[in-house]
């Protein structure tokens, strides 16, 4: 009993261990309390959809559980993957390999978000920020992805107005809006799991960077058009034999020896058509161009055709670099090199390294470069040149061939593919529009090119070319322009019309 009631007894020490003070830095990392300790999957769906609607994400529950992660990941993946089928017009195949590869960007995203949130862990607002962020991001981006696919499906079926389809900048505007939508949704989600503005900015930039990687570098889609094989026979493969080699030697000698030489008087056109890739479309195109030069430009007997194709091994000389040089030398000898015009038409596949692809297995054929062609023409002294290159990335040939007495036109710029070089194509878009259509109406290469470009663009839109307009290029020297105008004037005065 306390003898002095005004004096309180000192507190007695408890029987437990003394409490250890927690450092301030550690307490700052503790998450804020959660609202619901036993959430269902609906909580995550609702909050993810709020982020997609750009509304604040509030009242995040504890968790998520492994089963919730699995179910919601499966649901969102099924929706976005299934929606991708709508982008394909006609039958489509699901490629499991492409689908698995598309998860590479997701793996990078998880790792990058983990790094960012771990860097800003002192501002954490949830006990499991990475799992929460990923789950909400999956849910939030599902309606965004479905909306983007729906728009692509509508555009692919030509259901949009013509002013939309014909204007390339509309596509970029919509593309930017979808990116902004994703960025703002990611910002909402990140702000709900971390209070740091720097972390929010880092995560949003990471999301945009990986979206760009997925769009421009990975470019894998699980759904691809079903390519129905026709009933045609299997492609013929070149069979090398002594008879074939002897026939090829005779073919080249006969072609070079049979060139009709230039005659005094008006300007005359000579031609060389070169198709070094063993594919049907290039064989057809080279034959078409040869016919146009002979019929429209009065070059009958003055056009050489070099082609790599198994079916023509005993009919047309091979398209090799050596045969090209020998053919150009024969043309230089047959023509008046100061007065006449040489038209060189190259048709094949092209790469971003600006090489014209050559393939005629089992015959080994080297690719052709613009520098090789320029060096040969300069060495042979052929002055007036028209060079047309129908190949992807062929715009890279403009600068090496440009000159006062040279006209160069290409099927694409240096950054884009051309179109129509598939195995089932009748002609490339460039060859069809410029030579098979416009040059049958006019004798001006410049006018034909100018009229063909919008036609090519519209056909690429209708063909749903995915990497942008090929953007054909032309460069015309003032010297060759005067020569071609003089030739056209001579034809108008005296040449018979076809």
Which residues are CB-neighbours of 97 under 8 A, at least 6 positions away?
none
> pLDDT at position 168, please?
55
Distance CA(284)–CA(358), nearest Å, equals 16
Distance CA 270, CA 257 (A): 14
Closest by alpha carbon to 271, among 385, 400, 403? 385
Q: What is the pLDDT of residues 272-309, one digit of tens each?
A: 999 999 888 999 999 999 999 999 999 999 999 999 99
Domain spanning 242-494: CATH 3.40.50.1820: no
pLDDT digits (tens, 9 = 90+) for 44-53: 888 889 999 9
| Residue pair 273/306 in contact by the 8 Å Cβ criterion | yes
The rounded mean pLDDT for the chain is 83
Q: What is the 3-state secondary structure (H, E, C) of 329-342?
A: HHHHHHCCCCCCEE
Q: Is the peptide bond before 481 cis (omega within 30 degrees of 0)?
A: no
Q: What's the pLDDT tens digit per position in 329-387? A: 999 999 999 999 999 999 999 988 899 999 888 888 899 999 999 999 999 999 999 99
End-to-end Cα separation, the chain, in angstroms: 132
Distance CA 147, CA 145 (A): 5
Least confident window among 277-291, 401-415, 435-449, 484-498: 484-498
Give the domain ranges of the chain: 27-225, 242-494
């Amino acid at each position: 009993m306390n003898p002095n009631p005004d004096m309180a007894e000192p507190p007695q020490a408890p029987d437990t261990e003394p409490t250890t003070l927690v450092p301030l830095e550690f307490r700052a990392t503790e998450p804020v309390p959660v609202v619901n300790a036993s959430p269902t999957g609906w909580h995550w769906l609702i909050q993810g959809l709020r982020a997609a609607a750009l509304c604040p994400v509030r009242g995040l529950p504890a968790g998520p559980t492994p089963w919730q992660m699995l179910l919601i990941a499966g649901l969102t993946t099924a929706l976005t993957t299934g929606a991708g089928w709508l982008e394909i017009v006609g039958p489509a195949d699901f490629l499991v390999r492409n689908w698995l590869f598309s998860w590479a960007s997701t793996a990078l995203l998880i790792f990058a978000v983990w790094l960012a949130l771990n860097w800003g862990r002192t501002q954490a607002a949830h006990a499991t920020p990475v799992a929460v962020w990923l789950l909400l991001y999956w849910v939030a981006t599902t309606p965004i992805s479905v909306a983007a696919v729906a728009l692509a499906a509508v555009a692919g079926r030509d259901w949009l107005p013509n002013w939309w389809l014909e204007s390339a900048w509309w596509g970029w505007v919509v593309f930017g809006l979808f990116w902004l939508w994703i960025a703002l949704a990611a910002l909402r989600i990140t702000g709900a799991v971390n209070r740091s503005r720097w972390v929010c900015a880092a995560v949003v930039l990471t999301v945009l960077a990986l979206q760009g990687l997925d769009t421009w570098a990975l470019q894998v889609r699980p759904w691809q058009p079903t390519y129905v094989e026709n009933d045609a026979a299997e492609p013929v493969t070149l069979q090398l034999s002594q008879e074939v080699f002897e026939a090829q030697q005779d073919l080249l000698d006969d072609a070079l020896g049979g060139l009709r030489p230039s005659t005094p008087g008006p300007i005359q056109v000579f031609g060389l058509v070169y198709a070094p890739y063993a594919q049907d479309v290039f064989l057809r195109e080279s034959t078409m161009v040869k016919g146009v030069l002979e019929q429209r430009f009065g070059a009958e007997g003055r056009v050489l055709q070099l082609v790599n194709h198994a079916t023509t091994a005993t009919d047309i000389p091979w398209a090799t670099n050596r045969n090209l040089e020998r053919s150009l030398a024969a043309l230089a000898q047959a023509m008046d090199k100061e007065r006449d015009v040489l038209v060189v038409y190259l048709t094949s596949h092209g790469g971003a390294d600006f090489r014209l692809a050559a393939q005629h297995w089992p015959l080994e054929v080297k690719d052709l470069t613009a520098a090789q062609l320029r060096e040969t023409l300069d060495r042979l002294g052929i002055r007036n040149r028209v060079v047309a290159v129908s190949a992807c990335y062929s715009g890279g040939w403009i600068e090496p061939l440009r000159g006062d007495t040279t006209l160069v036109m290409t099927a694409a710029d240096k950054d884009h593919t051309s179109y129509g070089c598939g195995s089932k194509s009748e002609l490339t878009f460039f060859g069809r529009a410029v030579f098979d259509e416009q040059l049958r109406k006019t004798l001006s290469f410049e006018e034909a090119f100018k009229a063909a470009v919008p036609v090519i663009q519209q056909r690429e839109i209708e063909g749903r070319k995915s990497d942008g307009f090929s953007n054909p290029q032309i460069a015309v020297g003032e010297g060759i322009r005067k020569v071609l105008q003089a030739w056209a004037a001579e034809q108008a005065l005296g040449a018979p019309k076809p």
